[in-house]
Structure 1
Amino acid sequence: TAVLNADNERLMATAAKVWQGTTLTYGLEGGDVRGTLMDANTLQVGSTTFELPLPGRHNAQNFLAALAVAKALGIDWGSLTQGLQVELPAGRARRYALPNDVVILDETYNAGLESMVAALRLLADLPGTRRIAVLGTMKELGERSPEFHHQVGIAVRELGIDHLLVLADPAEEAALMKGAAPISAAAFADQASLTNHLLELVQPGDRLLFKASRAVALDRVVAEVMQQLSPTATD
């Protein structure tokens, strides 16, 4: 049995050409196992509600894939309704609630094009006063790196992010800023100047996303911002 993402048009078209066996599909738009994202943390499949171990549309897709595999293997979903816990390293899918209703999404562990866009969608869907994306270089992308950073900038603009702050290599910085124009954006040469600007910019009710490849060390900015805004910040 091939378990396929029905929301992925290219995948489904390819499978139709090369696979003649049994298929079981899943998705948020269609599929045999079809889910509805009630909010960032809650998925409904038929009459059953699941609390997602990690928030966001992309993680809902992963959870639906797991449900489809369980169905293919004849495994009952009952135990999954009790919730799952996922242990991830620092800088991956971390959420911190600070005083004055400021929320930080810490995704500083690593970054690629798909994960960057997924994190931006999560930020855009998060209720709040303003949404600020603090983004850095996605490393090791080769000659297409500026192109991919430009696509991230376009996603920032199309998702209606309020402010973009960039700490990136020159070519990637330019591509990000160009893609995001004309939204409010600023670029920085180091973590210290970025941190100082962000501390002046942040207001009550803001939602902040930090994401870049590990080498950019945006985790240092997260740590300093949290220390300044709330020494006792919590998940």
Structure 2
Amino acid sequence: MTTLWTSEEIVVATGGTASGNFTVTGVAFDSREVEDGFLFVAMPGTVHDGHDFVAGAFDKGAAAALVSQPVDGPHVLVDDVPAALEALARAARERLSDDAVVFGVTGSVGKTSTKEALAEALERLAPGRVHRSVKSYNNHTGVPLSLARMPRDTLYAVQEMGMNHAGEIAALTRMVRPHVALVTAIAPAHIENLGSIEAIADAKGEIFEGLEPGGVALVPEATDQRDRLIKAARGKAARILTIGGEEGDAAVLHSAPSAAGGSLVTARLPGRRLTFTVSQRGAHWVQNALTVLSAIGEVGGDVARAALALTEMGGLKGRGERHVVTVEGGELLLIDESYNANPASMEATLKALAEERATRKIAVLGTMKELGAVSAKAHADLAAPVQAAGVSLVIAVGEETAPLADALSLTPVEVVHVKDAEAATTNLLTMMRAGDAILVKASNSMGLGKLVAKVAGGGA
């Protein structure tokens, strides 16, 4: 395995004291993710202290630990472990070559999907030299961890950044220092904490504060917050592009369903016109593709070659992964969107469900969290896109989905309102049948990923 960090480099970056000489090949702060040769970062916590898991990390093959108290085994001792991890992250960013390009991604909807698509497309240009944040490691601990894991020979880095409150992305983007910063979309996610859609746009627009000199900002065209985002980018970006809509710098000229089930798109991109295929269904994925290809074009990448990755990209777990499940009498399609949900992403995935060829369409829709005072209306308003998608049956999961159940009770759509994922699973297993297309979508805390695992594992 290639050396990621030496003990001397960790000491220089963090100001700590090493117990001896060693090298590490990876970094983790979750002991369950430790592999042979890793540096285990003993993060403090409100429930568990990482120092309690150091011995277990060594048992799993950790080469060393980053700690704030002496431990048995190779380690670097520091005063403050989270601060040391951030210092290691900044050192990782600093040691990248002048040729390296860093992309920063945020948005209310689609940031993880766009991050993954961008990384896959960049792999076509520089195989093995693309680093991306994993899972949804996009917060004040996840971003430093992702950066600390970045190999020194990385040519393209793609870092997702998220937030719950104002000021969080500003701190993260100054650590990431992107050359290209993009906002996928603005929607009322986290509105409970931020208070208004304008405040959400301002918080997402913080990503431009970390742009490197000569950097590029990408903002969505078809949003009421377009001008607000452009204003946030002015003075920080050397070039600002708008993506989507009819007037965007990147726009769809023609889009039609492809034979494989995605979209065949002809688009006007900055400086070029291109026809390409997106394997994933839905207009939101076409928007993602415009963003990805525009970003690559802005750094001089081969856009046509990068677009080939969009043709072959599979669904992401919890974000569009598709399962064909064998049941009595045939098969059904299960679409896993269980990781995240807000009004915009709900509407987008329901529109994608409308494109599915199925005998019957079922939507298992769980609570959209952090909507505050608008929660009841936001859930009730899903009734219209549910009907537009041709859904026959809705299983509404969670107390907050009662307004949706009430609204659907006045329509021909059959609705079952249940309290939790376990009850939803029980109902779905008894009601599903061959020929169904089933969408599962909710905020991650609703636990509908367990429902997906149960059904995808073969039903009963």
1:96 maps to which residue? 323
> 1:176 aligned to 2:404?
yes
What letter corresponds to residue 45 of structure 1 in structure 2? T
> 1:44 aligned to 2:265?
yes
Specify the SS of the correspondent of 1:7.
Answer: coil
Q: Is the 8 A contact 2:263 2:277 kept in 1?
A: yes
1:191 to 1:24, Cα distance in 2 relative to 1, 3 A: closer
Q: 1:7-43, CA deviations, whole angstroms, 9 ceiling, x for partnerless residues?
A: 33x2456689997x97644426554433233225233
One of 295, 299, 309 as aligned partner of 1:69 = 295
2:347 maps to which residue? 117
What letter corresponds to residue 37 of structure 1 in structure 2? S
Partner Cα separation in structure 2 for residue 152 and residue 104 of structure 1: 20
What letter corresponds to residue 166 of structure 1 in structure 2? A
1:88 to 1:158, Cα distance in 2 relative to 1, 3 A: closer
What letter corresponds to residue 114 of structure 1 in structure 2? A
> 1:7 aligned to 2:222?
yes
One of 250, 259, 263 as aligned partner of 1:33 = 250
Q: 1:118-155, CA deviations, whole angstroms, 9 ceiling, x for partnerless residues?
A: 11111112121111000111122222211211122332
Partner Cα separation in structure 1 for residue 449 and residue 226 of structure 2: 38
When structure 1 is superposed on structure 2, of 100-109 and 50-59 the one drifting more is 50-59
Partner Cα separation in structure 2 for residue 92 and residue 25 of structure 1: 25
In the TM superposition, residue 158 of structure 1 has moved relative to its aligned partner by: 3.2
One of 360, 365, 388 as aligned partner of 1:158 = 388
Partner Cα separation in structure 2 for residue 23 and residue 78 of structure 1: 22
1:126 to 1:210, Cα distance in 2 relative to 1, 3 A: same
1:229 to 1:34, Cα distance in 2 relative to 1, 3 A: same
1:104 to 1:74, Cα distance in 2 relative to 1, 3 A: same
Partner Cα separation in structure 2 for residue 167 and residue 96 of structure 1: 21
What letter corresponds to residue 401 of structure 2 in structure 1? E
Partner Cα separation in structure 1 for residue 406 and residue 355 of structure 2: 23
Specify the SS of the correspondent of 2:334.
Answer: strand
2:104 maps to which residue? none
When structure 1 is superposed on structure 2, of 89-98 and 124-133 the one drifting more is 89-98
In the TM superposition, residue 227 of structure 1 has moved relative to its aligned partner by: 2.9
Aligned ranges 1:184-203 → 2 under 5 Å: 184-203=414-433
1:222 to 1:23, Cα distance in 2 relative to 1, 3 A: closer
> 1:207 aligned to 2:437?
yes
Runs of 5+ consecutive residues of structure 1 not aligned to the other structure? 231-235
Q: 1:212-235, CA deviations, whole angstroms, 9 ceiling, x for partnerless residues?
A: 1122111222222223438xxxxx
Aligned ranges 1:127-146 → 2 under 5 Å: 127-146=357-376
TM-score (norm 2): 0.44
In the TM superposition, residue 49 of structure 1 has moved relative to its aligned partner by: 3.4
1:219 to 1:175, Cα distance in 2 relative to 1, 3 A: same
1:233 maps to which residue? none
Percent of residue pairs identical: 30
1:79 maps to which residue? 305
Q: 1:87-115, CA deviations, whole angstroms, 9 ceiling, x for partnerless residues?
A: 88632221101232310001111212211
What letter corresponds to residue 374 of structure 2 in structure 1? R
Q: Is the 8 A contact 1:50 1:80 kept in 2?
A: no
Q: Is the 8 A contact 1:108 1:218 kept in 2?
A: yes
Query: Whose Rg is larger?
Result: 2
Higher relative contact order (CA 8 A, sep 6+): 1
When structure 1 is superposed on structure 2, of 127-136 and 146-155 the one drifting more is 146-155
In the alignment of these two chains, the number of paired residues is 227
Partner Cα separation in structure 2 for residue 89 and residue 44 of structure 1: 21
Partner Cα separation in structure 2 for residue 156 and residue 134 of structure 1: 11
| Higher fraction of helix | 1
- Give the RMSD, CA atoms, in angstroms: 3.1
What letter corresponds to residue 125 of structure 1 in structure 2? E
2:193 maps to which residue? none
